[in-house]
Structure 1
Amino acid sequence: MPFPPGDMVAAFGRHLHFKCLEQALIDRHPEVAERVCFDDTNRLMHLKVTLSAGRSVALAQVHMGYSTVWCVMAPELDSKPSVWPLDTPDEVLVDALHAVASARITGKAVSSPWRWDESSRSDMTELADILDARGLRVRRVAAGNRWSAVGPRHEAKLDIAGRDDGCFVDVEFPDAFVRVSLKSALGWLVDVYVPEVEAWGRVDLGGHLWGTTLPAPGVPRTDASTAEIADVLCKGVRAWDLEVSVRPAETAVPDWLEGLDVGLDELVEDSSPVIGRRSLGPRELTDKVLDQLTSYGFGDVAEGDAETPIQSDTFHIEWHNRAKNLSTSEVQRLNGLAAAAGEYVPKRLIVLTAAGMSRPAADFADTAKAFVFFVDRTTGELTGLNSRAREAGWPDTDPARQEQEPW
């Protein structure tokens, strides 16, 4: 007897997995046992909890782009699918299915943390609950589950949050998009995207919480509660002192940004190829780097002199002008210079380089709590080379270009 083909074996394996899920759902939530049904009559196997009038909430494996994911789908066409990676534990999948189905049966909202596509409570789900209760629209939570669907339901695309994004909550305001992040190295960050100028800005959390601007980006997690962060957010966009990093020079500035440090006269439109563009002069390059460091939240950097173009009481800022990539020994040497530069306490290190760096050097920079940025000498734009510097950068998303469906 010939061995069955691979696709038949795979289909049988999926069938058995769904049967296990069916039994787990009944065992964990016996109150819906009579509504549970495993449907394998078509190619898309799915486990469903029936509601009424032929409607149901279903769990299935679906394709999004080049990936296969678990989806919990409610019957409403405008509802957002709950997306989970394939290695999600069975108990999490059936609990997610039950949470959505139970809400439809009782006529209540999906309970937290499941309403945020999360399987356990965290600082992010707690913050999302507070903001939602205060009338703000929470668009996404990413903590334990970093997978989400983006775009209209009939052609949804998979979006996976990057490691450097940390855990975050995305909040939609009438005139801005806000991402509240909790990052491993920096702590709390609040970044604001303003569609009118296609620009990111960062809220001075230290100033709003304690009336003191902090020398480095972020507020340690233990120094601020989710309720305090929510209070800052609920003040609204017009109450925040934003350092906005604007790129397109021709973009008009909205009224509420007038008087803030936008720097439209210092902008370079980065649309031409790198080859053939001139490098910026020393003064122009320094100004652009200083503007970006300030907008990132380095609160005590300031214009210096010819010998030290950018000065700081907290950081020793080193310009690395060699073509060779930074090695571990070089970063160690520069870190020693930074420590010695402090008058009473060692300074921390910021390196600005036109080269790259080795992975061991980046690891040492993180250990030393240093920031290493690559500087594009044609635009002055900064790119983080170690994880701490990457965490200080802007979120890797453009909410203005995402289709905003009524989910």
Structure 2
Amino acid sequence: MQKEKLWTKDFISTSIVNFVMMLSMYLLLVIMAPYATDQYDASASAAGLVASIFILGALTGRLFAGRQIERLGSKKMLIAGIVFFVVVTAGYFISAGIYFLVLIRFLHGIGVGLATTATSTIVAQIIPRSRNGEGIGYFSLSVVLATAIGPFVGLTLIKYAGYTSVFIFSLLMGMISFIIALPVKAPIVEHTASADTKGFKLSNFFEMRALPISIVMLIVSLAYSGILSFITSYAQEMNLMTASSYYFLVYAVIVFISRPFTGKLMDNRGSNSVAYPALVLFAIGMFMLSQANTNFAFLLAAAVIGLGYGNFQSCAQALAIKVTQPHRMGLANSTYFICMDLGLGVGPLALGFLVPLVGFKGLYSSMVLVILAGIAAYYLLHGRKDKETSPSFNPASSK
């Protein structure tokens, strides 16, 4: 039996647009705090606000996109998000004080939230259902690559050409995204609005079927936020700065190599075949990181965490889409990313209070417990009934 086609023109174009948008996000994320300090003499807390307010903007954009994408269509939402992104990016060239910069960061986050919710929805609609895990695995590599390349590009541009070059690069990325997105043909999913979709209801902003796995993602991403926020400080304390500069590169390479295999495994054997091993590996990698005393041990932990968190991330997104009706895929993607962003955004604030009490080694050791809580949550919220959504499940045989 011939496999349904995955690598279509629209799939490739949408993945590239997502990569370019996320590249712009991550290259700005790492330079905004030092930019606020250098340009406006901002305090540490104000500089942190400039960097983190972006996440709040992205959450706002996802909430709006998740609800409106059914009515407007994913293609219109994508174009609107990119145009908004480009217009707001031009605001970085205006020097009008720290509060204006905070506003630009918030609005920039909204643009990225709108556009990336649309790209995820378009991809979910065009991927063959039989290759859902594999397709999401490949698509989400665009985020992994952006995570690894973005900070490197941003820091390199600052070093050789200054902050303005970063804003120019980001603006160009937005324009390129617009050009690539124009020819994309998003499927038209027919859906008639009902009385249930009117008024303020939780189900109008979140996809309830996708919420359980999204809650698990919130817990797991909270643990991962400790790495994003404190890995450089930890490496500096342990005198492992050489290894830290390669941490995300090793992480990205391992995820890039493993994702195609884990995606196919999920499609063929069900989500549990990927989720449980991935979460266990994440816990092991986190413990290894807490005990690392050499560059090799530090980077080995990065590789194990890549196999763990990196693959659970795409597995969870694929699950959120798999359990959702086609016309609710926009809300499913929005629900998933809102929970993940909450974990990554709230995590640093909460964990920041823990560092003075237990230190960085104690922080990463305690994150193992958070991951174990994530495993328990996965079992309770999805794992024990995953058989019902696996390709081999036969309802008649379960009676």
TM bucket normalised to smaller: under 0.3
TM-score relative to the length of structure 1: 0.23
Structure with more of its chain in strand, by fraction: 1
Higher Rg: 1
Q: 1 or 2 for the larger relative contact order (CA 8 Å, sep ≥6)?
A: 2
Higher helix share: 2
